């Protein structure tokens, strides 16, 4: 499946850049996609301009852009010689805004970026730019954990089958299509998770305390419905061709997904992120962000159909 055809890689001048480039080139080659590599230079803050006397601030910015362009040209030279469709450019402005504008201008269908931070439960792996992109970028965003560049051995797709809402089902489909595409690319083990919970369960238990078994019956019936929904949704995918596991778990999504990532040593999570869409059951509010802050693996986020980014092409 040629899932991505126009990939955007955010250049990061760190030791991780080679592994990130390998992942981007691998995806571009296998998908016969075009690859664009960008670097964003932030403008000199207004307060700093007053302190600069040796050179005009615009001259400093011009020299910085020129130097970064030269670096990117050297960076992509071997790729061009190998026949890859690749180009590079330097943009000036706020990083996440310029990345999204580049997506809007040229219809990119995937953004790849290195995660900044230490990761783990206590430390935040994803920096502010990555979080802005996951919330606001209209196309899928792959934020790569440092040290996880060449292959993803275990991929987790987080879906939600509690809602019959058409938009919710569409997002589930995008999550699965993306996860399966990457699974086929890396010959990975695919894990599929759906979590469910009843926030009013304690009230229900109090209500039926005198009638033993009613709460358990409700829980069993709910699980049966969700199991059937999940089976009906997944049967259209050729999962039997590869190694896969399905996890239907009761509890808080953030906690369960985080624990599964640890227990199964997941390398990549594919999940949906929503912003005020009103689709019940999905990662509304800060649930997705809690997951992102707790895990120590790469994450690919997708948006539902009809998502409109708050970022525009108009200059601020």
In this structure, the answer to whether residues 182 and 277 fall within a common structural domain is yes
Confidence label for 145 from pLDDT (cuts 50, 70 and 90): confident
| Highest mean pLDDT, choosing among 75-89, 120-134, 209-223, 292-306 | 75-89
The answer to whether residues 40 and 98 touch, using CB atoms and an 8 Å cutoff, is: yes
pLDDT averaged over every residue in the chain: 81
Q: In this structure, is residue 65 part of a structural domain?
A: yes
In this structure, the answer to whether residues 182 and 232 fall within a common structural domain is yes
Question: How far, in Å, CA of 167 to CA of 282, rounded?
Answer: 11
Confidence label for 249 from pLDDT (cuts 50, 70 and 90): very high
pLDDT (average), residues 74-98: 92
Q: End of a domain among 103, 130, 146?
A: 146
In this structure, the answer to whether residues 206 and 101 fall within a common structural domain is no
Question: How far, in Å, CA of 236 to CA of 246, rounded?
Answer: 15
In this structure, the answer to whether residues 285 and 158 fall within a common structural domain is yes
Question: How far, in Å, CA of 184 to CA of 177, rounded?
Answer: 11
In this structure, the answer to whether residues 48 and 81 fall within a common structural domain is yes
Number of domains in the chain: 2
Residue 256: per-residue pLDDT: 92
In this structure, the answer to whether residues 243 and 156 fall within a common structural domain is yes
Residue 51: per-residue pLDDT: 47
In this structure, the answer to whether residues 158 and 304 fall within a common structural domain is yes
Q: In this structure, is residue 315 part of a structural domain?
A: no
Residue 62: per-residue pLDDT: 86
Nearest alpha carbon to residue 219 among 236, 241, 240, 197:
197
Domain ranges, residue 100: 1-146
Q: End of a domain among 128, 146, 164?
A: 146
What percent of the chain has pLDDT above 70?
77
Question: How far, in Å, CA of 14 to CA of 58, rounded?
Answer: 26
Q: In this structure, is residue 160 part of a structural domain?
A: yes
pLDDT (average), residues 32-50: 76
pLDDT reading at 168 higher than 60: no
What percent of the chain has pLDDT above 90?
40
Confidence label for 285 from pLDDT (cuts 50, 70 and 90): very low
In this structure, the answer to whether residues 137 and 178 fall within a common structural domain is no
In this structure, the answer to whether residues 107 and 174 fall within a common structural domain is no
Q: End of a domain among 104, 127, 146?
A: 146
In this structure, the answer to whether residues 117 and 218 fall within a common structural domain is no
In this structure, the answer to whether residues 109 and 131 fall within a common structural domain is yes
Tens-digit pLDDT profile for residues 203-220? 555 555 545 567 778 788
The answer to whether residues 158 and 178 touch, using CB atoms and an 8 Å cutoff, is: no
Q: In this structure, is residue 314 part of a structural domain?
A: no
In this structure, the answer to whether residues 167 and 65 fall within a common structural domain is no
pTM of the entire predicted model: 0.85
Domain CATH code at residue 12: 3.40.50.620
Question: How far, in Å, CA of 58 to CA of 293, rounded?
Answer: 38
Segment (H or E) for 22: helix 17-30
Domain CATH code at residue 236: 3.40.50.12370
pLDDT reading at 104 higher than 60: yes
Residue of 47 and 71 predicted with greater confidence = 71
């Amino acid at each position: 499946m040629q899932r991505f055809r126009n990939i955007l890689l955010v250049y990061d001048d760190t030791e991780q850049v080679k592994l990130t480039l390998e992942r981007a080139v691998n995806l571009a080659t296998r998908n016969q996609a075009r690859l664009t590599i960008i670097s964003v230079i932030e403008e000199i803050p207004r307060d700093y301009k007053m302190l600069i006397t040796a050179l005009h601030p615009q001259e400093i910015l011009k020299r910085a852009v020129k130097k970064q362009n030269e670096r990117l040209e050297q960076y992509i030279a071997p790729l061009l010689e190998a026949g890859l469709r690749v180009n590079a450019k330097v943009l000036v402005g706020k990083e996440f805004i310029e990345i999204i504008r580049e997506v809007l201008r040229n219809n990119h269908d995937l953004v790849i970026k290195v995660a900044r931070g230490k990761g783990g439960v206590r430390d935040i792996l994803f920096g502010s730019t990555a979080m802005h992109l996951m919330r606001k970028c209209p196309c899928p965003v792959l934020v790569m954990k440092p040290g996880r560049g060449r292959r993803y051995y275990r991929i987790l797709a987080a879906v939600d089958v509690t809602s019959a809402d058409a938009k919710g089902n569409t997002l589930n489909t995008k999550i699965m299509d993306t996860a399966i595409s990457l699974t086929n690319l890396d010959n990975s083990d695919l894990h599929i998770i759906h979590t469910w919970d009843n926030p009013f369960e304690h009230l229900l238990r109090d209500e039926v305390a005198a009638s033993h078994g009613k709460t358990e019956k409700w829980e069993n019936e709910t699980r049966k419905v969700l199991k059937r929904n999940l089976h009906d949704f997944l049967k259209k995918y050729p999962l039997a061709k590869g190694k896969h596991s399905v996890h239907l778990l009761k509890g808080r999504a953030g906690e369960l997904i985080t624990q599964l990532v640890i227990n199964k040593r997941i390398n990549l999570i594919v999940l949906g992120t929503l912003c005020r869409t009103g689709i019940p059951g999905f990662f509304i509010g800060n649930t997705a962000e809690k997951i992102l802050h707790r895990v120590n693996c790469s994450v690919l986020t997708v948006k539902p159909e009809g998502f409109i980014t708050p970022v525009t092409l108009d200059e601020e």
